[in-house]
Structure 1
Amino acid sequence: MTSSAVHNILFIELLGGIGDVLIALSAIQALARSHSQAQMTVLTLPPGGKLLESDPLITCVVYADRNNPRKSVEKLLASQNFDLIVSDTNYDGIEQVIQQSGALHCVTNLWREPPTNQLVSDRFIQILLAEKVIHRQAIAKIYLQLPLLKQQRAQAALCHYPRPLVFLIPDAGMSIKRWNPINFITLGKALRQAYGATLLIPVGADVEQATTIADGIGNNAYIFPRGELVDLAAALACASLIIAADTGPARIAAALNIPTIALFGPSWYGRYRQLQPHINLQGYPQCPERNPSNFTEQSCWYSGICPLQQRWENCVDDISPLDVFAAAESFLGVWGE
Structure 2
Amino acid sequence: MQKILVIKLRHHGDVLLSTALYSALKGHFPNCHLDVLIYKETTPLLEGNPHIDGVMTIDRKMKGLKRIRHELGLLLKVRKARYDAVVHLTDQWIGALLARFSRAPLRIEMFVAKRDRPFWHHSFTHCVTPPPRGQAHAVELNLMCLQHFGIDPKGKRYSPVLIPQDRYLAQATEKLKQVGVNSPFVLIHPAARWPFKCWEDDRFAQAVSHLTQKGFDIVLTCSPDPVELAMTRRIEDLSRQAELHGRTLVNWGGSMSLPLLAALLSGCRFYLGVDSAPMHMAAALNVPQVALFGPSWVNEWRPWSHNATVVYAGDYGPLPHPDSINTEDPTRLLAAIPTEAVLKAIDERLAS
Shift of 1:229: 1.0
CA shift in 2, pair 1:156/1:62, >3 Å: same
- One-letter code aligned to 1:79: K
For the aligned residues, what is the CA RMSD? 2.5
**Which position in structure 2 is the counterpart of 1:281?**
311
Q: Does 1:211 align with 2:219?
A: no
**Which position in structure 2 is the counterpart of 1:302?**
327
User: SS at the partner of 1:10?
Assistant: strand
CA shift in 2, pair 1:138/1:20, >3 Å: same
User: SS at the partner of 2:335?
Assistant: helix
**Which position in structure 1 is the counterpart of 2:219?**
200
Q: Does 1:101 align with 2:129?
A: no
**Which position in structure 2 is the counterpart of 1:11?**
6
Shift of 1:67: 4.3
Q: TM-score, normalised by structure 2?
A: 0.80
Q: TM-score, normalised by structure 1?
A: 0.84
Query: Once structures 1 and 2 are overlaid, which stretch shifts more, 33-42 or 114-123?
Result: 114-123
* Contact 1:187–1:321 (8 Å) recurs in 2: yes
2:200 to 165, 180, 194: 180
* Contact 1:284–1:315 (8 Å) recurs in 2: no
* Contact 2:290–2:349 (8 Å) recurs in 1: no
Task: Give the unaligned 5+ runs of structure 2.
Answer: 113-128
CA distance in 2: counterparts of 1:134 and 1:148, whole angstroms: 34
CA distance in 1: counterparts of 2:209 and 2:187, whole angstroms: 13
* Contact 1:31–1:133 (8 Å) recurs in 2: no
Shift of 1:190: 2.1
* Contact 1:89–1:95 (8 Å) recurs in 2: no
- One-letter code aligned to 1:55: N
CA shift in 2, pair 1:250/1:149, >3 Å: same
CA shift in 2, pair 1:255/1:78, >3 Å: same
* Contact 2:293–2:311 (8 Å) recurs in 1: yes
CA distance in 2: counterparts of 1:162 and 1:320, whole angstroms: 31
* Contact 2:48–2:165 (8 Å) recurs in 1: yes
CA distance in 2: counterparts of 1:288 and 1:263, whole angstroms: 14
Shift of 1:258: 0.8
Task: Give the unaligned 5+ runs of structure 1.
Answer: 1-5, 306-312
**Which position in structure 1 is the counterpart of 2:209?**
189
Question: Could you tell me the percent identity over the aligned residues?
Answer: 23
Q: Does 1:65 align with 2:90?
A: no
CA distance in 2: counterparts of 1:146 and 1:108, whole angstroms: 31
- One-letter code aligned to 1:161: V
**Which position in structure 2 is the counterpart of 1:25?**
19
Q: How does 1:67-146 map to 2 (within 5 A)?
A: 67=61, 71=68, 74-80=72-78, 81=81, 82-92=83-93, 94-109=95-110, 112-115=129-132, 116-125=134-143, 127-132=144-149, 134=151, 140-146=158-164
* Contact 2:302–2:310 (8 Å) recurs in 1: yes
* 1:295-319 Cα shifts (integer Å, max 9, x gaps): 4x32x242326xxxxxxx4332222
Shift of 1:83: 1.7
